Chains A and B, each alone.
Chain A
Amino acid sequence: MSKNPPKYLSTTNACKLCSPLGASLVFKGVAGAVPFLHGSQGCATYMRRYIISHFNEPIDIASSALGEKNAVFGGGPNLKLGLTNVIKKYHPEVIGIATTCLTETIGDDVERFLNEYTREVNDPNLLPTLVRVSTPSYSGTHMDGFHAAVTSILDTLAESGPANDTVTLLPGLVSPADLRLLKEIMAEFSLPPVILPDYSDTLDGPAMSRYEKIPAGGTTTTDIAKTGSGRAVIEFGRTLTQYHGGGELLMKRFGILRHVLGLPIGIRETDAFLEVLAGLSGGRAMPASLAAERGRLIDSLVDGHKYLFGKRAVIYGEEDLVVGLAAFLAEIGVKPVLCASGGKSGQLANAVEEVCRGMMDEMPIVHDGTDFFEIGEQAESLKPDLIIGNSKGYPLARKLDIPLVRLGFPIHDRMGGQRILHLGYRGAQRLFDEIVNTIIDRKQSKSPVGYSYM
């Protein structure tokens, strides 16, 4: 239950995005896949623009471009025409079809249309794998669409078979840099991962010698199939229990061992993740390089602890990100006085408390289902030293003259959003350096002396 339900009826400056966008991001993490939105083309175009401002990569999201007639007679013909055109132009291996508020409201039976389409084409060689997911934008946030798409992909593609070594990792909405780090960590433990989604190449590609219709990279359908006979599935997200999601599907349908952990941000949550990996790799000790990173991280936290103790932060973003940040801030002596999200899992307050208990006297104020107008009202009275979250907090930070530490999604007023590292000891190190230096910078700038040594 929400401890602090929204005060206002209208939404001003939303702290969330809509469901189909989450699904689109997931499909970009599948090899050879084109995301396809069934609805008005405005949705696809606006989401493309939005995602481009963060990743600075071309993003093609197709649309069935419904018009007025279709709203009356149904969107089936447009959907099929759209699929045909996407196949002709992109030759995809997978098309991920997500609905929009329009097609959900007019009650389009996408499953039936896809079955008809498959029969009409009547040639499996001509058809890519079609994955469909229901993502009405009047329900939930982009994270609902994200998790629903992951589940749909597993539902469609995971297969049973002879047991394999695969460890499936469902990390949620993390950056390409985070994904690369996760792969590194898995490799340190000699665990072959299947990460879903993996957009670390498709949404963060190099300068190339030839334009690719569908950027190379992403998790292959072959690997996704293996998840049904792998060793385990690890899901990140303390608020995931509301979803009957991907991990649960693998567990129930294929008997895969399931671990649900918090996003590994900070020492404790990363320790917990590595412990699970150690268990899966036969009780192996923490790899030396990771132990060294952890040691250096803790050393740096000690070096900087006096700058940070007692400092107060307002944090916002997706619920699981907020929980992870709260966990980390608690470890470095920064009090997350307000934890805010546009999400409404109902789990946020409990999850924040779980990671903060024993680390501070007063528990943070938690606002879910909130928007930036309410966050602003709260922030004005709480007078924090820091605001931490995506670029959408800038107007507030500027108004209150409080420094903004940027992370998460979207970052559209700085370069490098896709390169921000949040996870693991390395991510915590980066976050720590930025947070402590922001505080130091502030102190130095505001001081009339102009100290060179802080």
Chain B
Amino acid sequence: MQAAILDERKEQIYRTGDSPCEIACDRDSLAGAVSQRACVFCGSRVVLYPIADALHLVHGPIGCAVYTWDIRGALSSGPDLHRESFSTDLQELDVIFGGEKKLYAALIELIERHQPKAAFVYSTCIVGIIGDDMDAVCRRVEEETGIPVIPVQSEGFKGNKRAGYQAACKAMFRLVGTGETESISPYSINILGDFNLAGEIWLVRDYFNRMGIEVVANITGDGRVDDIRRCHGAALNVVQCSGSTMDLAKMMEDEYGIPSLRVSYFGIEDMADSLYRVAEFFKDSEMMERTREVVRLEIEAIMPELKRYKQALTGKKAAIYVGGAFKAFSLVKAFRMLGMTVAMVGSQTGTKEDYQELADICDPGTIIVDDTNPLELTSFLEEKSVDIFVGGVKERPIAYKLGVGFCDHNHERKECLAGFFGMLNFAREVYSSVMSPVWRFAPRLETSANSQESES
């Protein structure tokens, strides 16, 4: 199905083999390509919304807010304000005469009603164009209400999703340094880049607690404004998800000298590795002992069942398309642990370094793709004849139509897939999909090797 790939896209697709990985990436999406990416606003809200005791107000027409209302699996142990969808719902008159008055009134109305610890105000595509001075309105409301009211420069078209991450980090950084840090242990970290989908940050916090580490702030899963205010009191930033919160870690390093470690909580190898590296950082032999114990106990608990899944799944093939490349990397390793090979892997927002790392750990002949779209995906899936596809809501129906199993690894998931326990869940989900009897009736579509149809 070579016709599925437009000329302009060719540089963003790479097959591992002899030639070095020269994949192009971090570009704006091509018009008409039907990219799976969303926009800058998407990047911002993904990072900030899980801060559960803040008010998140979308300044713009209704679409941005209503399509994102409670779509995420980011859980909170307390307030659930982030699960509501607030918007200034700009109308035609607001576009003509400006939306500042409405923004001001909406902020006051909602802050009075909900008494949040802070407010984040997201600009959408038309805000800059109609000339609304969101900064000014936010400052005024902050003065009047006494809580931080932080504008987020998240106009949808101002770049791609990564620009949204940056805007979110800048916004959060305004809170950092405004809280008290006296009582914080020297063995302390912030967890960055985990959004507590299905309780994953609770799982990971538990590991760290058992190691003897205090977690100062969750950034941002089950996040709290006051924790973020004092997160500069931690000794180390542990950063998952290379793209979304690394900017914040860098800002904290520049301003407060706090170093950071890049980690991943997916897959046994990477989960254990992450814990060891954090323990190594603190150079405490007792902590290292405790860490070894945590890893040993956790792996013991899941190994028997995991082995059974591995037996059934060995030899099967997988395809992966996720948002951030770090996850793809961990998934390749996780599949390897289950005896499966990965025939295609890609991400929406990977960097050159990310793709190089991926190329290094993939088998020859693996397709690596950046910012793909439905037609490319179907051609890859048909070519490679995989048994399971890992992705999000927009990838799932494509997999199903092609007779391929699916693992929901996106932000809406309600299943915990991180940590050691998460690896077991992951294996279970892969197993349940691949082994279902339904594929007898909804057969895998023919590979291009078998197909007699010629591309029209």
Contact = CB atoms under 8 A, between A and B. Distances in A.
A56 B89 CA distance: 28
A157 interface: no
A100 B90 CA distance: 13
User: Which of A17, A56, A213 counts the most chain B CB atoms within 10 A?
Assistant: A213
A161 B102 CA distance: 52
Contacts of B42: 42, 45-46
A41 B402 contact: no
A48 B394 contact: yes
A46 B87 contact: no
Nearest to A208: B401
B38 interface: yes
A163 B193 CA distance: 65
Contact of B95 (A36, A48, A61, A105): A105
Contacts, number: 223
A119 B141 CA distance: 52
A88 interface: yes
B117 interface: no
Nearest to A57: B397
Nearest to B36: A45
Contact of B63 (A17, A53, A70): A17
Contact of A85 (B30, B66, B159, B446): B30
Contact of B110 (A10, A56, A91, A392): A10
Contact of B38 (A42, A83, A100): A42
B102 A9 contact: yes
A13 B95 contact: no
A8 interface: yes
Q: Is the interface of B mostly helix, strand, loop or mixed?
A: loop
Given A11-B65, A13-B69, A45-B39, A65 B28 contact: yes
Contacts of A208: 401, 445
Contact of B62 (A16, A63, A71): A16
B397 A137 contact: no
B243 interface: no
A408 interface: no
Given A65-B28, A84-B32, A211 B401 contact: yes
B349 to A, nearest CB: 13
Nearest to A13: B85
A14 B8 CA distance: 39
Q: How large is the interface on B (under 10, 10 to 19, 20 to 34, 35 or more residues)?
A: 35 or more
Contacts of B435: none
Contact of B106 (A10, A47, A71): A10
B30 A65 contact: yes
A11 B89 CA distance: 6
B74 to A, nearest CB: 16
A59 to B, nearest CB: 8
Q: 4 tightest CB-CB pairs across the interface, nearest first? A: A42-B39, A85-B32, A82-B31, A82-B32
Given A9-B102, A14-B62, 13 more contacts: A11-B62, A14-B69, A18-B61, A36-B32, A42-B125, A49-B71, A58-B401, A68-B157, A71-B128, A88-B6, A89-B33, A105-B125, A137-B63
21 contacts: A9-B109, A10-B110, A12-B84, A12-B85, A16-B66, A18-B61, A39-B157, A41-B35, A41-B39, A42-B40, A43-B156, A45-B35, A45-B394, A63-B32, A65-B32, A78-B31, A81-B31, A89-B3, A89-B32, A139-B91, A210-B446
Interface of B: 3-4, 6, 8, 28-42, 57, 60-71, 83-92, 94-95, 102, 105-106, 109-110, 124-126, 128-130, 156-159, 374-375, 378, 382, 393-394, 396-398, 400-403, 441-443, 445-446, 453, 456
